[in-house]
Amino acid sequence: MFRTFLTMLGVIIAMLILVLLLGGANGLTNGFNKIFAGTASNSLFVWGQSTSEPYKGFERGRRIRYKLEDADILKRQIPEIEVLAPRIELADHRGAITVYRNGQTSGSSVYGDYPEIDQITKKKLVEGRFLNQNDIEDSKKVCVIGEETYKLLFEKGEEAIGESIRINGVYFTVVGIYKPNNNINIDGENAVFIPFSTFQKAFNSGDRMGWMAIAVEKNTPVPLIEKQIKDILKNKYDIHPDDDRAIGSFDMSRIFNSVTGFTLVLQGFSFFIGIFTLLAGVIAISNILLITVKERTKEIGVRRALGATPKVVKRQIILEAIIITAFAGLVGFAISVGLLSIMDSMWGSGDDFPFVKPMISIPQFIFSFVLMVGLSVLIGLLPANRAVKIRPIEALREE
């Protein structure tokens, strides 16, 4: 009995390792997904820089400045673009920025935006609302401020919605307050967002556009769209085809793909280690059954003498292997799930540690369990074949 328990312990530990590794890998995957939540995985950002090659009479070092019409051109010529949000920052046009209220300044970044930007970099609103299409159409003097901006301009607990702040001498009414999503935060939390159309009129930016935030349709390679965008802009602004510095871009999908690849490798590695550990545990059961068969030689001989066929004897041994393995595996699974639950309660709700819901999925459990039972059948064949080779007459002679 004790020997059987020790053998089962090997399978319990093997299942424990397999589930903990897979659960940990899933927890990290969920943690990374949480970090990237609110940021479109198929997005890129495009902005103008300075040329590095002379072309068509233009000298190198020419600054590329986009116009609002460029957004319409790109959307019209590249149907795979799902969302395109033109953006502009106040510092690009007016030098120093002063965001002021009641003697307090915040040093905030000020952006002119369209509501579509929220589809690419989602803002987690604490109060109020984000910019909408009516704000754009009516050029409303409204703004959405970050939580840090609120702390710098308002007293703790003071109502901000409906109050006014002054940006470079122009008054704006606060309609929303956001805080970071604890993920990729491109704009920071000390920022102010105003309607793009209002920005144009208030700060005399004309049809100028700072940069573009772009989301591409799913299943469309972002690098392919990125190249098409650059080709169109190079042609429009007379940029040398080989000039790689004139147009700046950042492909967010590369980060997502890298993280996804890492988590897939981690899950594969966990399966690899866990399965071989499980195989070692199942082999131990095979060894103990070989010893059991030798100890039960007389019993097997009596059964064979009474008419038990080799098939019946073999089936009994294999069934024992399956029962022992399955029971040990379920015990190991139960213990590992308990440990993962404890880990989730300790770290799963934290904002700093990227570890969320470290549990294995139902398909992973089914695959692991079926694999474990399948291995037990294969391993059980060795002692089963040894048992059917016992000749009844020789078995009955053993003392």
194-226-72 Cα angle (round to 5): 50
- Count CA atoms within 13 Å of residue 299 on its CB side: 9
pTM of the model as a whole: 0.70
End-to-end CA distance of the chain: 22
- Model pLDDT, residue 223: 92
CB atoms within 10 A of CB 254: 12
- Model pLDDT, residue 399: 47
Token pair for residue 358? Answer: 């470290």
Average pLDDT, 10 consecutive residues per value, the chain (399 residues):
66 81 79 66 90 90 93 94 93 68 89 92 89 95 94 92 93 91 71 95 91 91 94 95 92 80 80 78 70 60 62 73 81 85 70 67 80 77 65 54
User: Pairing between strand 99-101 and 164-167?
Assistant: antiparallel
d(Cα 86, Cα 205) in Å, to the nearest integer? 13
- Model pLDDT, residue 262: 80
Cα dist from 382 to 6, 277, 297, whole Å: 20, 20, 15
Tell how many helices (H) and how many strands (E) occur in the chain.
Answer: 13, 14
Question: Which segments of the chain are extended strands (E)?
Answer: 43-48, 66-67, 81-89, 99-101, 104-105, 109-113, 124-128, 142-146, 164-167, 170-179, 191-195, 208-209, 211-216, 247-251
Token pair for residue 338? Answer: 């308990």
Q: Hey, is 66 helix, strand or coil? A: strand
- Torsion angle in degrees (nearest 10) through CA of 225, 230, 231, 236: 130
CA-nearest of 350, 328, 329, 332 to 340 is 332
Q: Hey, is 158 helix, strand or coil? A: coil
Token pair for residue 131? Answer: 């910019």
Region of residue 38 (phi > 0: left; psi between -120 and 50: alpha; otherwise: beta): left
Cα dist from 311 to 295, 314, 318, 389, whole Å: 20, 5, 11, 11
CB atoms within 10 A of CB 37: 13
- Model pLDDT, residue 103: 87
d(Cα 6, Cα 329) in Å, to the nearest integer? 13
